[in-house]
Structure 1
Amino acid sequence: MEGTRMEALIETLYTVTLTDYPGLPAKERIAAEARYCKALERRIGPPEDVVHALKAVERLADDGDVSELTDEARRLVSQWHLACNTARTAGLQGLGDLPEAWFEVRVS
């Protein structure tokens, strides 16, 4: 009887990467990124909502024109900044805060 090989495929809509935290073991980095995701989704909503908010923030960064933002876009951007601050605190919990460390969030 041949051994069976099981693989798990996890599809994600966005990724989070802890950056500029030298010397952190991979297991702790992955746990920090997972805490960040959980906190971000707790504040914003499911992954689809996270992606929607991130895209609004990216459009603002690309355009730079705040005057033409819709009320919904303004709400999303504000919500995004608050959620990221909360998520950063959660992500770095127990690790110590390095001012240069940051979490990069990208649409997959």
Structure 2
Amino acid sequence: MEISQALEHSQPGLVKRLTTATRQHQLNYRSEQTYLHWISRFVLFHDLTDPALLKADDRRLYLDYLTAQVKVSRARLNQATQALAFLYSEVLTTPETPAAA
């Protein structure tokens, strides 16, 4: 499954909403692609569950997985954290609760 397909499967129209939000915030194309990447991995990690149904604990679980199992660098973990914060604050427009990094 292609990364953008995972997002569409979890919530139809999510890729377009995410792309629109990144462009409204004048993020560059590379940032947009990075956010798509981390958000898609988040959705895949949670078996294509609609991200609107996932809670702060689910975000923490994913970030802990990236740290402990995947062993991503601090910079990559920050990217993932920022991508999720953007998703929940700007795309899904739910209050952002801080995720443990």
More helix by share: 2
Same fold, TM-score > 0.5, yes or no: no
Please give the TM-score of this superposition, normalised by the length of structure 2.
0.41
More strand by share: 1
The structure having more radius of gyration, on CA atoms, is: 1
RCO higher in structure (CA 8 A, sep ≥6): 1
Please give the TM-score of this superposition, normalised by the length of structure 1.
0.39
